[in-house]
A = this chain, B = another copy of it.
Amino acid sequence: MSREFDLIGRCFAPLAGPEGLGLLDDAALFSPTQGRDLVITKDVLTEGIHFLSDVDPVTLGWKALMVNLSDLAAKSASPRLYFVGLSAPKDTPDSWFEGFAEGLRAAQEAGGLTLAGGDSTGSTGPRTISITAIGECPAGAMIRRNGATVGDDIWVSGTLGDAALALGAMLKGGEPDAALRQRLEQPVARLELGTQLRGLATASADVSDGLIADAGHIAKASGVQMVVERTLLPVSEAALACLKENPGLDHCIWSGGDDYELVFTAPAFLREKILAAGTLAGVPVTRVGRVETGEGVVMVDQAGVPVQTGAGGYSHFGD
């Protein structure tokens, strides 16, 4: 048997659910549940851009799947299936595939979904991982980006900037605080919060490119302006300690990437219910601003005066 099929059978077939047909067919077979919509997302991670070459493959497997589950969480969908596309050099050792599959397994167990198919190919260059994830929600219940309404509150889950601060320290050759590093390497999709926000949030996105960039996606899709107040942004104790030593890094809070929190909007009369949703989901939610008429994202200080945000998220092909 070729090594390709040996790796599929040994590392990936054990992750497959019934829809994957043992990874022995040309395609997966999925019978959708009546009355449910499908929510489908796809993310690509490239070595040297999204992850460092020497990253632990278990960590990478976890994160590659979790970033897709974060998209499903933002849409209020429950994960069902995923597909993995993997390009890797021929000399990639078996242990790397085994570790990557172990990370996928942990993430799929946390997310409640199974592998349904994929493709693995050789590459002459960096490893590239492409995951497509499919979730379900009751028909009509998906929370889109385009429903934010003037007067709505803007909310954020968890804390912001932790992952960007950890990455910044690592790129400088330093060792980040363990709590910050965990946020970078082991993000946890806010799936339960996403479910709890069904029928409450008017718009939602996951914070993967930085708050300013992702709130900007809601602003654009909804035709509104998102006004966020800098002093209200939720920051962890570990991040505060890091910023005390490096005050110039405060932009990581609003324009760092890899937070995998949710930014969402909801009418002001639902404040109590939003807070209760956070409690039920076990993740704090913080009101950080208000939807106004206009466009784009404006960050203001306590007096309401706009402040500079600097870079507004990562662009893959330059500005």
One of A27-35, A104-112, A246-254, A280-288 contacting the partner: A27-35
Smallest Cβ-Cβ distance to A48: which chain B residue = B124
Q: In the complex, are the beta carbons of B4 and A316 less than 8 A apart?
A: yes
A97-130 Cβ-contact flags toward B at 8 Å (1 or 0): 0000000000000000000111111111110101
**Across-interface contacts of A28 in B (CB, < 8 A):** 39-41
Number of copies: 2
- Does A308 sit at the interface, judged by CB under 8 A? no
Give the distance in Å from the alpha carbon of A20 to the alpha carbon of B75 in the complex. 14
Give the distance in Å from the alpha carbon of A24 to the alpha carbon of B123 in the complex. 31
Q: In the complex, are the beta carbons of A50 and B3 less than 8 A apart?
A: no
A residues adjacent to B (C-beta < 8 A): 2-5, 7, 21, 24-32, 34, 37-50, 71-72, 74-75, 77, 81, 83-88, 90, 92, 116-126, 128, 130, 132, 134-135, 139, 142, 144-146, 205-206, 217, 220-221, 313, 315-319
Residue in contact with A34 in the complex, picked from B34, B47, B126, B142, CB distance below 8 Å = B34
- A3-B318, A30-B39, A40-B117 are known; give 10 further A-B pairs, CB within 8 A: A24-B145, A27-B75, A28-B40, A42-B84, A43-B85, A44-B86, A44-B120, A46-B128, A122-B316, A130-B130
Give the distance in Å from the alpha carbon of A25 to the alpha carbon of B121 in the complex. 29
How far is the CB of A217 from the nearest CB of chain B, in Å? 7
Given contacts A44-B86, A125-B123, A220-B24, is CB(A4)–CB(B145) below 8 Å?
A: no
Q: In the complex, are the beta carbons of B130 and A44 less than 8 A apart?
A: yes
How far is the CB of A131 from the nearest CB of chain B, in Å? 9
Residue in contact with A122 in the complex, picked from B49, B84, B88, CB distance below 8 Å = B49
Q: In the complex, are the beta carbons of A221 and B125 less than 8 A apart?
A: no
Q: In the complex, are the beta carbons of B142 and A49 less than 8 A apart?
A: no
**Across-interface contacts of A4 in B (CB, < 8 A):** 315-317
Smallest Cβ-Cβ distance to A133: which chain B residue = B27
Give the distance in Å from the alpha carbon of A75 to the alpha carbon of B21 in the complex. 13
Among A24, A49, A85, A90, max chain B CB count under 10 A is at: A85
Give the distance in Å from the alpha carbon of A102 to the alpha carbon of B41 in the complex. 23
Q: In the complex, are the beta carbons of A316 and B121 less than 8 A apart?
A: yes
Give the distance in Å from the alpha carbon of A27 to the alpha carbon of B24 in the complex. 28
Q: In the complex, are the beta carbons of B126 and A123 less than 8 A apart?
A: yes
Residue in contact with A38 in the complex, picked from B30, B41, B313, CB distance below 8 Å = B30
Residue in contact with A24 in the complex, picked from B2, B29, B34, B217, CB distance below 8 Å = B217
Smallest Cβ-Cβ distance to A125: which chain B residue = B125
Give the distance in Å from the alpha carbon of A3 to the alpha carbon of B312 in the complex. 13
**Across-interface contacts of A145 in B (CB, < 8 A):** 24-26
Q: In the complex, are the beta carbons of B85 and A42 less than 8 A apart?
A: yes
How far is the CB of A160 from the nearest CB of chain B, in Å? 18
**Across-interface contacts of A81 in B (CB, < 8 A):** 40
